[in-house]
Structure 1
Amino acid sequence: MSPDDVDVLHRESSWAGVRATVLGFGVSGFAAADNLTHVGADVTALADRATAAQLEKAELLEVLGARVDIHEGATQVLPDDVDVVVTSPGFRPDSPLLQQAAARGVPVWGEVELAWRLRGPGPSGAPAPWLCVTGTNGKTTTTQMLDAILRAAGLRSVAVGNVGLPIVEAVMDPAPYDVLAVELSSFQLHYTSSMSAEAAVVLNLAEDHLDWYSGDWLGTDTGYQRYAADKARVFERVQRACVYNVADPATEDLVRDAEVVEGARAVGFTLGMPGVGMLGVVEDLLVDRAFIPERASSAAELCTLADLAPDGGTPAPHVVANALAAAALARAHGVSQEAVRDGLRGFRLDGHRIATVATVGGVRWVDDSKATNPHAAQSSLQAYDPVVWIAGGLAKGAAFDELVRSVASRLRGVVLLGRDRAVIAEALSRHAPDVRVIQIDAPDTGDAPTINGGPDLMRRVVAAAADLAVAGDTVLLAPGCASQDQFTDYGARGDLFAAAVHGLPSP
């Protein structure tokens, strides 16, 4: 089969005889292999290793007729007879197998591209529209807020993509959805070429994943340039609205450069007073001046700030920004003001996202373990003053100078842990030299992360933070780094933090 023949494959095509190699056997890899087998393709799935649960899934796929090859080095060599490669997002373009595919002219898709091609008729007859969310930070919260709004409007919706459920599973569901709320990472977008979202947003842009965006495959671009270019793919072929962040001009630049369907609009969101064609905040109201006929002279109320703070507090600025972005996408789909209000009013943040763990001796302890890059940590830190900051882990090539410079006046003290803590320590020495810093070492035994980290390490971190904090302070776990050097994932890191806080002695 020629690349041109592969390029026109879609849900109603005959996939018989299409030789598909699936690279990786995680959540998206298994979903791709399973559904390709379902439509009749000749599937080979490759992985270097697998968990016990994944091995069980491999057996199931083999019963269904797929070939599954799991051994060290399996992902290094492209099989001889391949029409298309469907890659998991963790594989960089300079991975050996993908380089071989490029040299042989074999098309490479991601699971998102496969899902777009496999869309079937929805309840209206047409495939369910996609409302897409990307950006450096806030993607999951915004996508879940969007899903809550869509459900409040009475639509059959689901949050998919980088948020959890593979998109290909949603589009192949026998009970079709009305609309999909789609979270997309830059890795997923890199391997997506034909998607045409109904509406899309880039929430923000900051350096992240520079370990992935490195190597000769970048050519003359920097890692950040290629990262931003991949984020920009979400705006290509948008049908109704490209949503951007007024406070982040780079996101508007991406809209300006996008090739969209004729009639698609640029819609901004802002924490200030919105101009015409924007959503924003007026006093204590979130308002819409983009999707109402009288937008030139008035604004429509969507909800109040209090609707975003069910505990009676004040919502953090980035939570308000996420709500505005979600509302913009929903309004582009035609959702009512009332549904926006009801969806946001009933929404609750997932764990490990600016979650108050406890107040002990007048010190508030907050878990934002999900803040796995400097931009996310900066958003959290700017919500508190004064603050004892707990940070460190795997920096993924990111720098911390801008973050430290922007929050230095808020810092009571800093507790650092993790492999790349020196990167943060050096930024603190340059831009906050008077702030007390405590570094917590962990034994470097080469064992599993839960051995190097674990409860004892986090108890030491929390004890050090307690020594720095005084009544009225907030102790904030916003590491600005990934967790896998010392913990299983950011959730485990946050759980251990909460357990250590609850173990503090009463004052």
Structure 2
Amino acid sequence: MVGHQVSPAEFHGKHITVAGLGVSGVSAARALAGLGARVTVVDGGDGPALRERARVLTDQGVAVRLGDADTLPEGTDLVVTSPGWKPESPLFAAAAEAGVDVVGDVEIAWRLRGEDAAPWLAVTGTNGKTTTVQMLASILEAAGLRTAAVGNIGTPIIDVVLGDQPHDVLAVELSSYQLHWAPSLRAHSAAVLNVAPDHLDWHGSMRAYAADKGRIYEGNTVACVYNVEDPRTEHLVREADVEEGCRAIGFTLGAPGPSMLGVVEGLLVDRAFVENRQQQAQELAEVADIAPSAGPAAPHNIANALAAAALARAFGVPPEAVRDGLRAFRPDAHRIAHVAEVDDVVYVDDSKATNPHAAQASLATYESIVWIAGGLAKGATFDELVTASAKRLRGVVLIGADRALIREALARHAPDVPVVDLDRTDTGAMAAAVREAARLAGPGDTVLMAPACASMDMFTNYNKRGEAFAEAVRALETGRGADE
């Protein structure tokens, strides 16, 4: 396997500073301390939860410094950062001045993998990463392979790389943050699902954001999987420096050309990993096989399934495993989840739609929608989203800190759509939003909570926001919310 590798012994005695006391920071600190490094964790926050994490790490021989994340500990040989820390952070400026490298936990995991380590099938994109990686893991398992879904999906990849359980292949979700801090990563095959404006406050520009996404293709050995409907992803493939013989593989919701996967008459078909791709196609599954328990597949989930299938096929998985894996896949909560039907109105929770691109995919799934939206915009704009979705909107209910941005886009591009602007950012606003949406909706409509924004102005995370929506819908269903 290509790419930078080091012996675990090379970390012994090194003074390593870990930036951030979150999940990835704690994982990196424990792993590096276990390899004999002298580890100091720094975090600018303080409070009971952080102090408890600090206490546990201190008991394991890790030094922790809370309330000061700007000063580089004296003698630091390497800084390992948590994904969300911005490149211009004072700690990293101090590291640069001292000639100290800054890398992420994914980079450390990549360096620590053994000679016979499991290859990585990697996935990034503005939206759909987690679903695609879970689909991929389900397909790989259906093929009888030992695998795990790791990385940004919630399981720290260092823990898996250094763990005792053997794997044949890993399905790895990578965010743009993680890719920014992983210069040595070289995957077996990788996919960029889509690239749309997001996290521009972190990256500084769309070009920088796309470039970090494109890092996932660097050094690929077998396949670079791109979205035919998103030219940015194909451009990133063209710009990548890959291994000799690595192929560009497209996926499309239409009929595929050679070296593509696509859809023909309700079938997922492969014209990339067949003997004569100019004239032959291999049936992989039916569209109806995609998480059948969740109901009809939305267009973006068909695209996710094609991307997962492409990566699995690049690894040599047989067609029947693609079918069986997609049938066995179960989507996570808060991703176009049917909550209830009340008075012939369907209520759908897509709290995971935390940016305009994700919300647009969600809105495209339904014909007549009362849309609940708003939250933290993260530097995003909403004109393209509203323009694309205007004809589907029966009404809109706005909540959250940056709702004015959506309201202004609606005024420009959908002036006839009724809008209820709830001037609230408290957690109870969701119940009021559901009641207003129910008032606007008629039989056959869908009330869709796809906020197009992050949740942290009102909720701890998108899961809590989705739970609040579901609770409000259940109250409506039982009549408790009707007159409150």
TM-score relative to the length of structure 2: 0.96
In structure 2, how many angstroms separate the alpha carbons of the residues matched to 1:270 and 1:16?
48
In structure 2, how many angstroms separate the alpha carbons of the residues matched to 1:464 and 1:11?
60
1:81 is aligned, of 42, 61, 75, to 75
1:459 is aligned, of 417, 427, 431, to 431
Return closer, same or farther for 1:50/1:291 CA change in 2, 3 Å cut-off.
farther
Partner of 2:132: 142
In structure 2, how many angstroms separate the alpha carbons of the residues matched to 1:208 and 1:300?
36
Aligned ranges for residues 16-415 of structure 1 at < 5 Å? 16-49=12-45, 52=48, 54-70=50-66, 72=67, 74-121=68-115, 126-214=116-204, 223-311=205-293, 313-415=295-397
Partner of 2:465: 493
Q: CA deviation at 1:50?
A: 5.1
Q: CA deviation at 1:506?
A: 6.4
Aligned ranges for residues 409-448 of structure 1 at < 5 Å? 409-442=391-424
Aligned 8 A contact 1:273 1:282 in 2 = yes
In structure 2, how many angstroms separate the alpha carbons of the residues matched to 1:491 and 1:50?
24
The C-alpha deviation readout for 1:226-251, integer Å capped at 9, x for no partner, is 00000010000111100000000110
Letter in 2 for 1:346: A
Letter in 2 for 1:185: S
In structure 2, how many angstroms separate the alpha carbons of the residues matched to 1:9 and 1:146?
26
Return closer, same or farther for 1:493/1:12 CA change in 2, 3 Å cut-off.
closer
The C-alpha deviation readout for 1:366-395, integer Å capped at 9, x for no partner, is 000000000000000011111111100000
The C-alpha deviation readout for 1:170-216, integer Å capped at 9, x for no partner, is 100112221111111101111110111000000001000112123xx
Partner of 2:440: 468
In structure 2, how many angstroms separate the alpha carbons of the residues matched to 1:213 and 1:284?
39
Secondary structure at 1:293 match in 2 = coil
Aligned 8 A contact 1:162 1:184 in 2 = yes
**For structure 1, which segment, 304-313 or 131-140, has the greater mean C-alpha deviation from structure 2 after superposition?**
304-313
Partner of 2:454: 482
In structure 1, how many angstroms separate the alpha carbons of the residues matched to 2:129 and 2:4?
31
Percent identity between the two aligned chains:
58
Letter in 1 for 2:176: S
Structure 2 unaligned blocks of 5 or more: 480-484
Aligned residues: 477
Q: CA deviation at 1:9?
A: 6.4
Secondary structure at 1:157 match in 2 = coil
Secondary structure at 2:339 match in 1 = strand
Secondary structure at 1:112 match in 2 = helix
In structure 2, how many angstroms separate the alpha carbons of the residues matched to 1:350 and 1:250?
28
Structure 1 unaligned blocks of 5 or more: 1-6, 215-222, 443-451
Aligned 8 A contact 1:360 1:506 in 2 = no
In structure 2, how many angstroms separate the alpha carbons of the residues matched to 1:189 and 1:369?
25
Q: CA deviation at 1:152?
A: 1.0
Q: CA deviation at 1:495?
A: 0.8
Q: CA deviation at 1:401?
A: 0.3
The C-alpha deviation readout for 1:23-51, integer Å capped at 9, x for no partner, is 11100001111111111111111112356
The C-alpha deviation readout for 1:101-131, integer Å capped at 9, x for no partner, is 112221111000000011125xxxx111001
In structure 2, how many angstroms separate the alpha carbons of the residues matched to 1:495 and 1:13?
46
In structure 2, how many angstroms separate the alpha carbons of the residues matched to 1:169 and 1:309?
29
In structure 1, how many angstroms separate the alpha carbons of the residues matched to 2:9 and 2:270?
42
In structure 2, how many angstroms separate the alpha carbons of the residues matched to 1:51 and 1:476?
36
The C-alpha deviation readout for 1:237-296, integer Å capped at 9, x for no partner, is 111100000000110000001000111100000000001100000101001111111222
Q: CA deviation at 1:60?
A: 3.5
**For structure 1, which segment, 255-264 or 151-160, has the greater mean C-alpha deviation from structure 2 after superposition?**
151-160
Aligned 8 A contact 2:294 2:331 in 1 = no
